[in-house]
Amino acid sequence: MKELILLKSGEIALKGLNRSTFEDRLIHNAKKSLEGTGAYGFTKAQSTFFVEPKSDDCDLDRAVDNLSKVFGIAALCRAGIAPKDFEAIKPAAATYLHDALSAAKTFKVTAKRADKRFVPASPELCAELGGYLIERFPHLKVDVRTPQVTVTVEVRDTAAYIHSDQIPGAGGIPVGSGGQAALLLSGGIDSPVAGYMMAKRGLKIIAVHFASPPYTSERSELKVHTLLEKLVPYTGSVRLFTVPFTEIQEEIKNKCDEDYFTLIMRRFMMVIAGEIAQNNRCGALITGESIGQVASQTMTALACTDAVSPLPVLRPVIGMDKEEIIQIARRIDTFETSILPYEDCCTVFTPRHPKTNPRLDAVEKAAAVLDSEALIRRAVDGARSVTIRKS
């Protein structure tokens, strides 16, 4: 039987006048995610998108897997296509859902008729199809409350679609519909999760990574590449800027009060990432900071870094426990990469007694011995970029 994929849009169905902009973005992102799995036609009706394979060699398993990571989709499923004729729909349902119905003990039938002229009406359709399926699968019992399988028949303009349970989509809103932001990406657990969370809220992402060779090695940079490869199915392709940070860190270490190392360093990160962000049409920075996690993530410390950022700083994991962040990292498959024990530039120059309650004027004073402007210029000019795409 011919099949297609049904996508149910979530939150964007609630959008008003600019709903079609969101929908166009969703279709664009969905098409991109399907690259390499075959050619498809897209149509939409109400809050459902119909993704119809154009040839028999489409890889629908991979297609569904890829689409399940596209933000803006609340639920999705494969469906069998039957003619709009109830006598054809009945055997088609039995054949298409044979495996699911054989394995289940209980089921129910639901119907949606976009075409209200279709006969029978929904209640009769459910009752009659339910009876037919019990004849074909005599072990089945109807359970309208908690069925193991729900058989759904959707009667639309040109065909009827038959499917069982949908799988949850990635939720959120389509990437790109909210503009672009720059993710400060370390090799740790938190920042990839932060990037995922903001992409889920519709932001297209570029990434900025600070590397301090020879204190940090090439494998630390490769780790960041690997993390982005794991994020790309959700975020779409990401341009990564790798910033040379050694000179700045050495200068701080040689010239500044040790207690302020981390804060001064983080302020440099904000300024440099901010400049790269502004050069690349970004409206915000994103970090993986969470209040109280480490000394540089107290409220006063965050105020000291915010003070130099030219853009708003989004911190989606700010109120989350490490355990909650790890749960997401596991789900999006970044966790195992993040915990690889490669050095990060932050861990190389860690002060023994970091200030947890810094005063902005004291930080500024501690940093005043540096020629910040020249250091920033060289770091920004020395940044290399590469685009990480879906493999």
Binder among 147, 172, 176, 188 for Mg ion (CB under 5 A): 188
> Residue with the closest Cβ to Mg ion?
188
**What is the footprint of ligand ATP within residues 154-193 (CB under 6 A)?**
184-186, 188-191
Are 312 and 286 spatial neighbours (Cβ–Cβ below 8 Å)? no
Which of ligand ATP, Mg ion, none is residue 287 near (CB under 5 to 8 Å by kind)?
Answer: ligand ATP
Output the smallest distance, CB 65 to ligand ATP, in A. Answer: 27
Using the 8-state DSSP alphabet, how is residue 165 labeled? Answer: P
Residue from the set 23, 251, 275, 344 that interacts with ligand ATP by CB under 6 A = 344
Nearest to residue 231, comparing CAs of 269, 270, 268, 200? 200
Answer for which of 108, 200, 209, 239 binds ligand ATP (CB under 6 A) is 209
Phi-psi region for residue 42, left (φ > 0), alpha (ψ -120 to 50) or beta?
beta
Give the nearest distance from C-beta 293 to ligand ATP in angstroms: 5
Strands (E), the chain: 3-9, 40-45, 48-53, 73-82, 106-113, 141-142, 149-155, 160-163, 167-171, 180-184, 204-211, 238-244, 285-286, 313-314, 384-388
Total binding residues toward Mg ion, as defined by CB under 5 A: 3
Q: State how far the Cα of 137 lies from the Cα of 150, in Å rounded to an integer.
A: 14
- Please list, in sequence order, all residues whose beta carbon lies within 8 angstroms of the beta carbon of residue 254, skipping any fewer than 6 positions away: none
Under the criterion CB under 6 A, does residue 27 sit at the interface with ligand ATP? no
> Which of the listed partners (ligand ATP, Mg ion, none) does 184 bind, with a CB threshold of 5 to 8 Å by partner kind?
ligand ATP
Is there binding between residue 210 and ligand ATP (CB under 6 A)? yes
Count of residues binding ligand ATP (CB under 6 A)?
Answer: 20
- Stretch touching Mg ion by CB under 5 A, among 178-186, 248-256, 363-371, 376-384: 178-186
Three-state SS at 380: helix
Residue 233 as a binder of Mg ion (CB under 5 A): the answer is no
Place of tokens 């009945």: 90
- Contact between 345 and ligand ATP by CB under 6 A: the answer reads yes
Q: Which of 109, 134, 3, 137 is nearest to 59 (CA)?
A: 3
> Given candidates 13, 64, 294, 360, which one binds ligand ATP under the rule CB under 6 A?
294
Q: Contact region for Mg ion (CB under 5 A) — 127-135, 180-188, 258-266, 382-390?
A: 180-188
Vertex 368: Cα angle to 365 and 373 (nearest 5): 145
CA dist., res. 237 & res. 239, Å (int): 7
- Residue numbers at the binding site for ligand ATP (CB under 6 A): 184-186, 188-191, 208-210, 269, 287-289, 293-294, 296, 344-346
Interface with Mg ion (CB under 5 A): 186, 188, 344
